[in-house]
Amino acid sequence: MSTHEETLSGRDFARLSAFVYSEAGICLGPEKKTMLEGRLKRRLRELNMTSYRLYCEYLFGQEGLREEKVSFIDVVTTNKTDFFREAKHFDYLTQRALPELASRAGGRTLLVWSAGCSSGEEPYTLAMVLSEYAEGHAGFRFQVLATDISTKVLAHAELGIYTADDVEPVPPALRKKYLMRSRERGADRVRIVPELRRLVEFRRLNFMDADYGLSAKADAIFCRNVIIYFDRPTQEKILRKLSHRLAEGGYLFVGHSETLHDMNLPLDALGPALYRRIDGRV
């Protein structure tokens, strides 16, 4: 039987959604069944499998848990982002946060973390903004860490190749400075210049991991439009972990549709979708 003639059974959907929740903390309600079915269809073709049932047998077998788990998580995760998305956050970073963070750092390299970086638009935006700030402030040094659970989007992000439409939100002066046009005739692709790519470190990270593996605390964390995929208890758990990896006085930027109201976190609200780590509070 070909894959397009079969649907994902309720039992298999329940197993897969429970697995996603335990592995990645992501909630797939019943309304997501059709979405999962559509995404898995492509994966079944890649594996030359003829049914969702066979795929589940493979995934939950010893070999599948070893070989297929990361690919399955890649299938489930939603990756939507843009350059300079929610631009006021970048304005606040350069005008308010960076002068103060830099003065407290005393020459130390600042760490800015894009947590849930998707295909790289956010960390490259940060690298542009921070590079521009560094040009006007002698001695200012920074590093951008970009993490995501999906190996597929991380591979795309590391390449730094985008379409002309993708980079439309980038201001023309920055486009000219930080993007290279494809040499292929008629191609509408551009690539982030190597000097900027070198400023971003990409790494796979699962928010459900006990240890995030950061050697230093971040001065600012951008975790925007990410926690909406988790239930409330998981959101609070993740945000608590992020807070503890934020330097005292550091900033957390979340998506405008995300609220931290009534969560027990060591953060002060500064404005829409903007929080600050409170000194001394655990």
Residues tagged active-site: 39, 148
- Structure tokens, 196: 């900027």
* Crossing angle (nearest 10°) for helices 33-47 and 10-24: 90
Nearest CA among 135, 116, 212 for reference residue 177 = 135
SS3 137: coil
Residues 228, 4: Cα–Cα separation, whole Å? 30
Phi and psi (nearest 5°) for 213?
70, 25
- Structure tokens, 226: 């990410």
Residues 217, 247: Cα–Cα separation, whole Å? 5
Task: Provide the edge-to-edge strand list for the sheet that holds 246-254.
Answer: 200-204, 142-148, 110-115, 218-223, 246-254, 274-277, 267-271
Give the type of residue at 108: R
Could you give the residue ranges of the DSSP H alpha helices within 77-165?
88-92, 98-105, 121-135, 151-159
Residues 89, 38: Cα–Cα separation, whole Å? 35
SS3 161: strand
SS3 111: strand
- Torsional sign, CA 86, 88, 94, 99: negative
